[in-house]
Chain A
Amino acid sequence: MINRIQQLFAQKPQGLLSVYFTAGFPNLEDTVPIILELEKNGVDLIEIGMPFSDPLADGPTIQQSSEVAIRNGMTIPTLFAQLQDIRQHTQIPLVLMGYLNPVMQYGVERFLQKASELGIDGLILPDLPLSDYVREYKEVFERYKLSNIFLITPQTPEQRIREIDTHTNGFIYMVSSASVTGSTTGQSVVNTTYFERVKEMGLRNPGVIGFGIHNQETFEQACHHASGAIIGSAFIKAIAKEESLSENISTFIQSIRHKETA
């Protein structure tokens, strides 16, 4: 199975920038403009967040963007309608990220089929247990050429990381520290021992570090230990600002990567 995620990591194994945003925030119709602007600014991979009323693993920024998005009317059918022609405009790898309940109500299999038709490359469903995935859904994901991305944390035991590595085929989402999303206080993202421990395991899948990455410094630190990094809350804060969406996006991405784009 080769999808755009696997191609990306094969071509560019270092310094990847992945950006998460909540679909429907700040405005309902911003989804496609955000994707196209991110691509224009040299972002490598995009995670489209499907808002949920009770996002357990998220801090205040994503809680609020989710609340606004739901109030704006964002739903899975609406998102799919917005993405109808997306592959006519961009080939950037796209991942859908969200909690299991809305996907369950839509119907997991129906959801995967639709996502695949639209040209989505992968999914992150943080509360879908590994055991359920292996038992019920792995075969369906593979049939639709969708990568299922799993999270690991500094507390995840080695044996479980290896098990995850055998069941996934895109990348492994390395949560930087014990925390909900958007935390920039507490211990720094340079959790070197954990990152190096994972690196030395020689996994099949590349690792990408997320949670708490919010500026050039933390981005570069993360890239030093893994194939790339994911920015979520800091990006959402940036596009909540008053200027135009395209201005906010280019200012923010340049602030993260100004050396590389020069």
Chain B
Amino acid sequence: MNYSVDDNGFYGRFGGAYVPEMLYANVEELRQNYLTIMAEPDFQEEMQSLLRDYVGRPTPLYFAKRLSEKYNTNIYLKREDLNHTGAHKINNTIGQILLAKRLGKTRIIAETGAGQHGVATATVCALMNLECIVYMGEVDIERQAPNVARMKMLGATVVPATSGSRTLKDATNEAIRDWINNPGNTYYIIGSVVGPHPYPDMVARFQAVISEEIKAQLLEKTGSEDPDYIVACVGGGSNAAGAFYHYLDTPEVKLVAVEAAGLGIDSGESAATSVLGKEGIIHGSRTLLMQTEDGQVTEPYSISAGLDYPGVGPLHAHLHQSGRAIFESITDEEALQAVLELTRLEGIIPALETAHALAVISRLGAKPDEVVVLNLSGRGDKDLATYLDRFNFDDK
């Protein structure tokens, strides 16, 4: 089985570039240049030094002793929450901003759900002195207020997306429309492994640093590069793609992708695309998509803004269809319990997105001598208002 993208931008039957002609030139320019630019020594040098000195990589691989004791196995947390800006998203924005500069672009646009990608984009734009416009659904602006404040502080313009479900899908639509209206000077930094080819492949390559580091760190700590399980949450799927990347061709390593079930798979309020979706086209890519019988995109729901998306990246659609990855889904309630559990056992407050991955540990059936690596994609500062509201600490 081959899990890398083919020459036409497909993973098996998924992927491609289903874009209107107005986007063709933009996407084509990127497709023709991304691999060449990424291979240039001075690009690599600049990216590596920023990842090290600015982002704070490598991030630790931490043996979570109390969590491991509770589940009677060996759990390692890949601490992407310790990156500058608090999530894995900046691995990708560093890479793409360097690419944008080399393509001579002067105006940067992005979509964001949880606001982590928006913050990571606003951050690198401040660093590189480039104009930054971030599209964000009205609902998400409300529920991720701290990140909206950070983006503004960093000098970005935050534009509310007011159509549809007013979440990540709609923010992405608006960013794409902006790109249509501003070809030439504008570069679109997509925040996950979604969108038309070459974005899914490019973003996966920038996030692949996660599994590259896991291999070396695990070897040092356990004597083997390969864990038994790698667990990651999936919105569009970029942190999962990064954590899986260098293990895709090692079938002994079980890959576990965790989606948001929202109020429950059958509740009508869910974002579990692998269960509820069928093949379709969203944001320029052929992938699994939650939709009606008539092919209208369904408005998803999750408590977690970063997972509240009706599609998944085409790589994940392929991993699901081929059986290479196991897909699980976790409800809002289960995710919230996992937040509190990690906070009280390890003193780490995770993001709501990440909590979905954590909540799956109890279902894995990992044995006492097995090793689980969980990608701790982000920290929970942005979600404190939700946590305070849901946990009622004052009453306890």
Give chain A's interface residues, CB within 8 Å of chain B: 52-54, 56-57, 59, 63, 67, 70, 75-77, 99-106, 126-129, 131-132, 150-153, 155-157, 160, 175, 178-180, 183, 186
How many residue pairs at the A-B interface have CB separations less than 8 Å? 105
Give bound CA distance, A147 to B181, whole Å.
28
- Can you name 11 extra interface pairs (CB under 8 A) apart from A52-B295, A105-B280, A105-B294? A52-B296, A54-B164, A56-B176, A100-B18, A101-B281, A101-B289, A101-B291, A103-B295, A105-B293, A131-B8, A151-B21
Q: Which chain B residues numbered 267 to 312 have a C-beta less than 8 Å away from chain A?
A: 279-284, 289, 291, 293-297
CB of B106, distance to nearest CB on chain A (Å): 16
CB distance from B20 to the nearest CB of A (A): 4
Are B21's CB and A150's CB within 8 A? yes
Least CB separation from A100: chain B residue: B281
- Which chain B residue shows the least CB distance to A164? B21
Whether B18 and A153, one on each chain, are in contact in the complex, defined by CB atoms closer than 8 angstroms, is no
A92 to chain B, nearest CB (A): 26
Chain B residues lying within 8 Å of A126, measured Cβ to Cβ, are: 20-21
Looking at chain B, what size class is its interface with the partner chain? Answer: 35 or more
How far is A156 from B183 in the complex, measured between Cα atoms in Å? 12
Shortest CB-to-CB span from A100 to chain B, Å, is: 5
When the two chains form their complex, are residues B17 and A129 in contact, meaning their CB atoms are under 8 A apart? yes
Are the C-beta atoms of A129 and B18 separated by less than 8 Å? yes
Closest to A59 in B: B177
Contacts of B20 in A (CB 8 A): 56-57, 126-127, 151
Contacts of A56 on B, CB cut-off 8 Å? 19-20, 173, 176-177, 180, 283-284
Task: Tell me the chain B residues, 137-184 only, with Cβ under 8 Å from chain A.
Answer: 163-164, 169, 173, 176-177, 180-184
Q: Which of A127, A157, A180 is B281 in contact with, Cβ under 8 Å?
A: A127
Closest 6 pairs (CB-CB, A-B): A102-B295, A105-B295, A155-B25, A126-B20, A151-B21, A53-B296
CB-CB nearest in chain B for A186: B181
| Residue B16 CB within 8 A of the other chain | yes
- Is B385 an interface position by the 8 A CB rule? no
B391 interface hit (Cβ, 8 Å): no
B294 touches A153 (CB 8 A): no
Closest to B278 in A: A105
Bound Cα distance A168, B248 (Å): 42
Nearest opposing residue in chain A for B293, CB measure: A105
Are the CB atoms of B294 and A180 closer together than 8 Å?
A: no
- Which residues of the partner chain A approach B54 to less than 8 Å between Cβ atoms? none
Q: With A54-B282, A57-B22, A106-B295 as given contacts, are A179 and B180 in contact (CB-CB < 8 Å)?
A: yes
CB distance A155 to B183 under 8 Å?
yes
Q: Are B169 and A54 in contact (CB under 8 A)?
A: yes
- Report yes or no: A127 in contact with B291, Cβ–Cβ below 8 A: no
A-B contacts, 19 listed (Cβ < 8 Å): A52-B296, A54-B282, A56-B20, A56-B176, A56-B177, A101-B281, A102-B295, A105-B294, A106-B295, A126-B20, A127-B19, A128-B18, A131-B8, A150-B21, A152-B21, A153-B22, A155-B183, A178-B180, A180-B22
